[in-house]
Amino acid sequence: MILTVTLNTALDITYRVRSLRPHTSHRVSEVIERAGGKGVNVARVLAALGHEVTATGFAGGATGRAIRDRLADTPGVTDALVPVTGASRRTIAVVDELTGDTTQLNEPGPQITPTEWGNFLDRYEELLPSASAVALSGSLPPGVPVGAYAGLVRAARTRGVPVLLDTSGEPLRRGVAARPDIIKPNADELAELTGSHDPLRATQDARRRGATTVVASLGPEGLLAATPEGRWRATPPSRVHGNPTGAGDSAVAGLLSGLVEKLPWPERLTHAVALSAATVRAPAAGEFDRTAYEKLLARVPVTAA
């Protein structure tokens, strides 16, 4: 079982409009709702790839009930979310059909009490012994300690469970010091962590700070991985247009799938880039176009960096 942690779950709402223009009203042509938050997106993709997944984190209020209802309809994903009093957040993605661009609006999330945080830690400890790998993904809702991910990384490592951390800012800085097996920052997050805007130098610096492996997401330029076995770049065969929401989460799913299947690093990166690109092509946040994914697998180049 792969365990995904989403402390700030969300109800992802995608609106499609003909052309997004400020200071005017719009007629929405399509509305799609999905259970979301980075770890939930990771769980959905892993389940679609055939893995057994358990999703934990927080869910509360009417939005939390909607998230859990949609998780119940997702084959292969077990709901282990912890209930809270506050309402889970919504994220709004507005897709401009004319340009293909997406505008994202993210709410902050519910206030988590100390008791609720303690309840989550108990659930996490219960789930770890059955986990083959853990993904810690996304932002922290208000009330959760800024060093939360560092503690969760240490708990996983104590039990010999490999852990991937995908967050930003101070939670990432503290989490890296706890020595996660993999971190997956984007270019801006990596620069903020290391102070370097040279991705090659920054990935090496992030490894010195504690991460065993660093896989940097470079947007349309694909992924750059610095691992104990070597460094590689994997790039999409062509520029992909569409909704980028969840593309990084699909890359995380590809990396985790490759980890538990013990694939060599170049093959893991191929799967991660193909999944990410196939997610951009999908109409809804947190989904991927399986046909595009299968076609891309044979076309993603991986080179030594």
Which residue numbers are catalytic?
Answer: 249
Q: Do 60 and 83 contact (CB within 8 A), yes or no? A: yes
Helix count and strand count (H, E) for the chain: 10, 14
Query: What is residue 122's DSSP assignment?
Result: H
* C-alpha pair distances (Å), 154 with each of 80, 149, 181, 283: 21, 9, 11, 37
Q: How far apart are CA 206 and CA 243, in angstroms?
A: 29
* C-alpha pair distances (Å), 77 with each of 40, 118, 126, 172: 9, 24, 17, 26
Amino acid at 293: Y
* Cα 205 from chain centroid (whole Å): 22
Q: Do 117 and 56 contact (CB within 8 A), yes or no? A: no
